[in-house]
Amino acid sequence: MYVAVKGGEQAIANAHRWLADRRRGDRDRDELSVAQLADQMNLAVDRVMAEASLFDPELAALALKQASGDLVEAVFLLRAYRTTLPRLAETLPLDTGAIRLERRVSATYKDVPGGQVLGPTYDYTHRLLDFLQLADGEVPAPARTEQALEACPPILDQLDAEGLIERETDDGAAPYDITRDPPDFPVDRATRLQMLARGDEGYLLALSYSTQRGYGRNHPFAGEIRIGMLEVEIAVEECDAPVCIGEIAVSECQMINQFAGSRELAPQFTRGYGLAFGRNERKTMAMALVDRALRAEELGEPVASPAQQPEFVLAHADSVEAAGFVSHLKLPHYVDFQSELELLRRLRRAHAQPPTDDAEGGGQATDDGSKEPAPAAPQASRETEQVAP
């Protein structure tokens, strides 16, 4: 337990003033603008939006600037801001088949209607540092063809048409919303996907990697990755038809995984799904792998690995919660520590005394009987407050 302390106002004010100075850096250089960050650090901005669970590039760029580039801090700032806004609407479910594609690749078919479209990718770059970036070189405009892109229908539709993959259909169920009610394990797939979509990318990447290395293997293929812009519609009282409120950038990954079937149902490929705000390809691939791993129980697979355990995976995926609880260890725990120190001293005194006939309980000696002598288990419930919002 940590306790409130008073004082230190001047020190705190000066610390924050120094932080602002450090953030600004050398005054002889131009200050970074939020617009520059939104534009030129767009992948960092996209990651902040995805993990903060709020699409607003300008605010995400502001958070990034304010956090001096600390992504987890920026996610925290933007997540905190979202709590100040009212919910005005729910959108119609996104039709990812209608994405205005800038990238679309499949690892399962060479020739697909519309073709493989690379988009602005880091794939196939040589990962050699480009020293021209130090020299403010001119950047040519992108190449364009005479013809626009052909239609690129979702690739898994082909497998679906042959009945070779699980069919995803809408039964009209209203999705659970973890921002309204805290998740209550076990949770359904809609809840899992909401939690994964805001999960920390590094964490999901590590977990998805663990499935590839054998901890919950599910034989994935990247069936299709789609990245681009998608119009968003909301239903409003004032109009009969849904209204379009603008476009957002999204990334989607459809993983095709090894078979499931039953006496009634012939074997079929199974699916893992990833979807995220912005250009977040790696995140959506990791999300799709973890989504599939978390379906182990549903698909009758043994649940033996960390990535297959929903409570373990999901309860630790949120960087705001994780950073909050880890960071709170920095706050004053003076009273708590004093009591542990007192306990330790008592145990050591008892240890130094020669054993007597009636106190043999494996070091369980108590001299006043008022306290549990054994150190408390290191569990969260010992804490009376959580720092995370």
In the range 153-172, which residues lie near other proteins by CB under 8 A?
154, 156, 166, 168-172
Piece of the chain touching other proteins by CB under 8 A; list 45-53, 299-307, 326-334, 336-344: 45-53
Residues in 106-135 that interact with other proteins by CB under 8 A: 110-111, 115-121
The DSSP result for 172-230, as a single string, is -PPPP-TTTS---SS--HHHHHHHHHTS-HHHHHHHHHHHHTTTT----EEEEEEEEEE
CA distances from 349 to 146, 339, 362 (A): 86, 15, 15
By CB under 8 A, tell whether 97 contacts other proteins: yes
Contact string 226-265 vs other proteins (x = CB under 8 A): --xx-xx-x-x-xx-xxxxxxxx---x-x-----------
Check residue 302 and give left, alpha or beta (phi > 0: left; psi -120 to 50: alpha): beta
Residues in 330-369 that interact with other proteins by CB under 8 A: none
Question: Could you say which of 142, 302, 369, 378 contacts other proteins (CB under 8 A)?
Answer: 142
Residues in 47-86 that interact with other proteins by CB under 8 A: 49-50, 53-56, 58-59, 82, 85-86
CA-closest candidate to residue 199, choices 354, 53, 351, 4: 53
Piece of the chain touching other proteins by CB under 8 A; list 270-278, 337-345, 351-359, 366-374: 270-278
Residues 210-219: b if buried by 16+ CB within 10 A, e if exposed: bbeeeebbbe
CA-closest candidate to residue 298, choices 287, 311, 289, 310: 310
By CB under 8 A, tell whether 27 contacts other proteins: no
The DSSP secondary-structure symbol of 306 reads G
Using CB under 8 A as the binding criterion, the count of chain residues that bind other proteins stands at 89
Question: Could you say which of 275, 294, 307, 323 contacts other proteins (CB under 8 A)?
Answer: 275
Give the shortest CB-91-to-other proteins separation in angstroms: 5
Piece of the chain touching other proteins by CB under 8 A; list 93-101, 204-212, 321-329, 366-374: 93-101
Q: How far apart are CA 40 and CA 36, in angstroms?
A: 6
By CB under 8 A, tell whether 91 contacts other proteins: yes
By CB under 8 A, tell whether 174 contacts other proteins: yes
Question: Could you say which of 94, 205, 206, 315 contacts other proteins (CB under 8 A)?
Answer: 94
By CB under 8 A, tell whether 90 contacts other proteins: yes
Geometric angle at alpha carbon 147, from 142 and 153, rounded to 5°: 100
Shorter beta-carbon distance to other proteins: residue 154 or 216: 154
Piece of the chain touching other proteins by CB under 8 A; list 136-144, 305-313, 318-326, 371-379: 136-144
Question: Could you say which of 277, 280, 283, 305 contacts other proteins (CB under 8 A)?
Answer: 277
Question: By the 8 A CB rule, do 279 and 249 touch?
Answer: yes
Starting at the edge strand found earlier in the chain, the sheet holding 100-105 runs 100-105, 221-234, 243-260, 268-277
Give the shortest CB-388-to-other proteins separation in angstroms: 18
By CB under 8 A, tell whether 297 contacts other proteins: no
Residues in 210-229 that interact with other proteins by CB under 8 A: 228-229
CA distances from 44 to 40, 50, 126, 251 (A): 9, 10, 21, 14
